[in-house]
């Protein structure tokens, strides 16, 4: 039977605090190594996604939307900017950082 998200999260946290390699922790806990490896990868991917963008509402006409990136770089868009184009610009800039 598959483990619940709570159980998987508990195993990842226990492995992190154990000081053991993933393989050693799995042997000790009776887990298949590939499971823990996949849970750690999935959590890392989720953290990357959650630390990136947040949902924002489109500003009223004439209002300037400003996205400030780490390092002080700024992207400024008016409310009339095409959302698809703005998303492409933001994606290009963020992926090159």
For the chain, the domain total comes to 2
pTM of the model as a whole? 0.48
Residue 38 and residue 11 share a domain: yes
Query: Do the domain assignments include residue 59?
Result: no
Containing domain of residue 72, as a range?
A: 64-95
Instruction: Label residue 60 by pLDDT band (50, 70, 90).
Output: low
The tens digit of pLDDT for each residue in 62-79 reads: 667 777 776 677 778 887
Query: Do the domain assignments include residue 18?
Result: yes
Q: Is 65 helix (H, G, I), strand (E, B) or coil?
A: strand
Exposure b/e, 23-47, CB count within 10 A at least 16 = b: eebbeeeebeeeebeebbeeeeeee
Residue 70 and residue 45 share a domain: no
Instruction: Give dist(CA 94, CA 45) in Å, integer.
Output: 16
Residue 18 and residue 41 share a domain: yes
DSSP class of 61: T
Query: Do the domain assignments include residue 56?
Result: no
The tens digit of pLDDT for each residue in 3-56 reads: 888 888 899 999 999 999 999 999 999 999 999 999 888 887 666 555 556 566
């Amino acid at each position: 039977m598959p483990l619940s998200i709570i159980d998987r999260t508990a195993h990842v946290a226990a492995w992190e605090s154990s000081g053991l390699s993933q393989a050693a922790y799995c042997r000790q806990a009776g887990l298949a190594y590939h499971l823990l490896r996949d849970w750690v990868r999935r959590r890392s991917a989720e953290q990357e996604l959650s630390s990136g963008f947040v949902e924002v509402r489109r500003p009223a006409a004439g209002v300037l939307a400003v996205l400030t990136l780490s390092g002080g770089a700024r992207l400024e868009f008016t409310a009339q900017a095409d959302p698809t184009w703005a998303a492409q610009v933001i994606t290009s800039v963020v992926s090159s950082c």
